[in-house]
């Protein structure tokens, strides 16, 4: 990857879905560039296209038109198996419903992406221990999800998302199912990982608690990017720029 090139490029991207003999546009000619190390929120009302855009960036879906590049790779030119490989190597996911495997312990849930990648046992154990330590759950490694609180389960999900050392972490409404205390803890954790490890975070949200701690907010309305606001410093400062794509 060219160090001067953005980590993510969304270039005139649209995504349409067939519904009742017509096409519904979920994302409409969106443009977005994200550099390594950013902490960015995609915000907007329900149905604005937030999750669809996140899925397109995450190689879960392909655009109807336009192009998305991850580290310079045109994802639309990849086969299904190549997209899966890129997703496994470069992208971590955090879902609002946690998506943990209930019969696995916290450590086994975190380890699962490394098993798929064929990482050796000793290396898996080292990375899992580091990931759980980084989210403050080293002492809960042997607990199954049903014995963890909602906040702890979401932290396990974050550990799973970062254990394979991705270039990018995507989080879809990560605080939606958390109370204020656990949401605040999760936000602090993600900001710490962003600052300490340089991890790039893109998340969809309409949670004001999260938006108040975000360094950049991209707002969608009816699938269109209507503003792109960069905030000062750590996300607590005033708006410096407001660009309409």
Rounded distance between C-alpha atoms, residue 52 and residue 31, angstroms: 14
**Is 182 a residue whose pLDDT tops 70?**
yes
Q: Is residue 1 part of a domain?
A: no
Q: What tens digit of pLDDT does each residue of 94-131 get? A: 988 889 999 999 999 999 999 999 999 999 999 999 99
Q: Tell me, what's the pLDDT at 243?
A: 41
Please give the average per-residue pLDDT across 45-62, as a whole number: 94
Q: Is residue 77 part of a domain?
A: yes
Q: Is residue 228 part of a domain?
A: yes
Q: Is residue 3 part of a domain?
A: no
Q: What's the domain count of the chain? A: 1
**Is 29 a residue whose pLDDT tops 90?**
yes
Q: Is residue 172 part of a domain?
A: yes
The SS3 call for residue 9 is: strand
Q: Is residue 20 part of a domain?
A: yes
Helix ranges (H only) for the chain are 50-57, 80-90, 106-117, 121-134, 150-162, 180-197, 208-211
Rounded distance between C-alpha atoms, residue 158 and residue 167, angstroms: 14
| Higher pLDDT, residue 243 or 84 | 84
Phi/psi region, residue 125 (left: phi>0; alpha: psi -120 to 50; beta: rest), is alpha
Residues in contact with 5: Cβ distance below 8 Å, sequence separation at least 6, in sequence order: 71, 72
Rounded distance between C-alpha atoms, residue 179 and residue 167, angstroms: 29
Q: Tell me, what's the pLDDT at 169?
A: 97
Locate 204 and state its tokens.
């969809």
Q: What is the CATH number of the domain that holds 44?
A: 3.40.50.300
**Is 162 a residue whose pLDDT tops 80?**
yes
To the question of pTM greater than 0.85 for the whole model, the response is yes
Q: Is residue 26 part of a domain?
A: yes
Q: Tell me, what's the pLDDT at 21?
A: 82
Q: Tell me, what's the pLDDT at 96?
A: 85
Q: Tell me, what's the pLDDT at 93?
A: 95
Q: Is residue 67 part of a domain?
A: yes
User: pLDDT confidence of 241, banded at 50, 70, 90?
Assistant: very low
Residues in contact with 168: Cβ distance below 8 Å, sequence separation at least 6, in sequence order: 7, 8, 57, 70, 90, 91, 92, 200, 202
Q: Which domain holds residue 160?
A: 8-243
């Amino acid at each position: 990857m060219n160090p001067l090139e953005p980590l993510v490029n969304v270039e005139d991207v649209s995504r349409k879905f067939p519904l009742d003999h017509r096409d519904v546009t979920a994302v409409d000619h969106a443009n977005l560039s994200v550099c390594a190390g950013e902490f960015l929120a995609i915000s907007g009302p329900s149905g604005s296209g937030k999750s669809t855009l996140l899925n397109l960036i995450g190689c879960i879906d392909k655009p109807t038109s336009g192009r998305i590049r991850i580290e310079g790779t045109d994802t639309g030119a990849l086969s299904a198996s190549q997209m899966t490989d890129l997703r496994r190597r470069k992208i971590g996911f955090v879902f609002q419903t946690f998506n943990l495997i209930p019969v696995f312990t916290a450590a086994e849930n975190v380890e699962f992406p490394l098993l798929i990648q064929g990482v050796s046992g000793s290396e898996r154990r080292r990375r899992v221990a580091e990931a759980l330590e980084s989210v403050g759950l080293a002492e809960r490694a042997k607990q199954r999800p049903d014995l963890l609180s909602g906040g702890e389960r979401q932290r396990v999900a974050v550990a799973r998302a970062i254990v394979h050392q991705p270039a990018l972490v995507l989080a879809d409404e990560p605080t939606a199912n958390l109370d204020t205390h656990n949401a605040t803890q999760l936000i602090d954790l993600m900001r710490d990982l962003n600052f300490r490890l340089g991890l790039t975070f893109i998340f969809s949200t309409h949670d004001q608690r999260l938006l108040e701690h975000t360094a950049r907010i991209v707002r969608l309305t009816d699938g269109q990017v209507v503003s792109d606001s960069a905030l000062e410093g750590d996300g607590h400062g005033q708006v410096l720029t407001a660009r309409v794509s």
